[in-house]
Amino acid sequence: MEPKKAEQLKNYWKRVNAVEPAEGKAVVQPPVPPYFDLAQGKVAGLVKLVSLTDDACTQCLKLDDVAAILEGAGIKIVDKQVQAYDSPEGKASIEGFGVTRIPALLLSKDVMVYEGMAEQLKALNSVEKNGYYAVHSTIPPYREVASNQVKGLVEVIYLTDESCKECFDVQVNKQVLQRFGLVFASEKTVDIASKEGKELVNRYNLTKVPAFLMSGEAKEYASLNSVWKQVGTVEGSGWDVFRKPEVFGAYKDLEKKLVVTPQQGGQ
């Protein structure tokens, strides 16, 4: 082949997004979106995005940055809308596109032409409904659409023995819970010598302090749930009770009425 024609053919392969021919064959790669889809007669890869928000839930995760992240990954977003979940438009979107949690994002099905998005949406259990995919926050707290209640706001009661000066600081428990991402609805510290403290010790048959109790909303935190059986119990009341203070340090054994200092690594 003449050099000039060979160069023209090489440039043609580039224009149609093909791998350069080897052994007389060329493989055409999928075009990079957005592109004109001849079969559909329109440009593919022009994505519409709707953000469903909840201004009343100040502690819920915000998804404001997701659009910029998608655009930074090369996704062409041509229309962006923000809808309050309780507005007429928001209610219509919730019903029309299968939204179960707020905050949420709605992505038009055009996003599926982008590499990797099908796998990402599948991993998020997002399915198409009426031309859109609903993407929900997987991090609590969030508003559950069915009940219109905010889930994942945890009440915590820290139980301590103020007479035990050697016992580890009960606030260590708070720091650990925060590492698991817990968001608190309320917190209070109760001394076991108080009326409320005695009632809690008796009700939950506590034998060691410091300890803490969490309301049932703690079940929303999967990473905490995965290790909870090693250190605590889930009671019939729905509350979780921490029962192994030895993992943090010195504690009071209420049955033996003495302070125990665990050896390194616990006992």
pLDDT tens digits along 210-258: 999 999 999 999 999 999 999 999 999 999 999 999 999 999 999 999 9
Task: Indicate the fold that domain 30-144 takes in CATH.
Answer: Glutaredoxin (3.40.30)
**DSSP conformation class of 61:** P
Q: What is the pLDDT of residues 30-44, one digit of tens each?
A: 688 998 888 888 899
Q: Where are the domains of the chain?
A: 30-144, 152-260
Distance CA 195, CA 144 (A): 36
Strands 76-84 and 46-53, sheet pairing: parallel
- The number of residues making up the chain comes to 267
> Does position 16 have pLDDT exceeding 50, yes or no?
no
What are phi and psi for residue 57, nearest 5 degrees? -95, 90
Common-topology check for domains 30-144 and 152-260: yes
What is the C-alpha to C-alpha distance for residues 115 and 192, in angstroms, rounded to an integer? Answer: 58
Nearest to 101 by CA among 79, 122, 120, 125: 125
Tell me how far apart the alpha carbons of residues 111 and 134 are, in angstroms, rounded to a whole number.
12
**Which pTM does this prediction carry?**
0.82
How many angstroms separate the CA atoms of 102 and 99, rounded?
A: 8
CATH class of 152-260: alpha beta
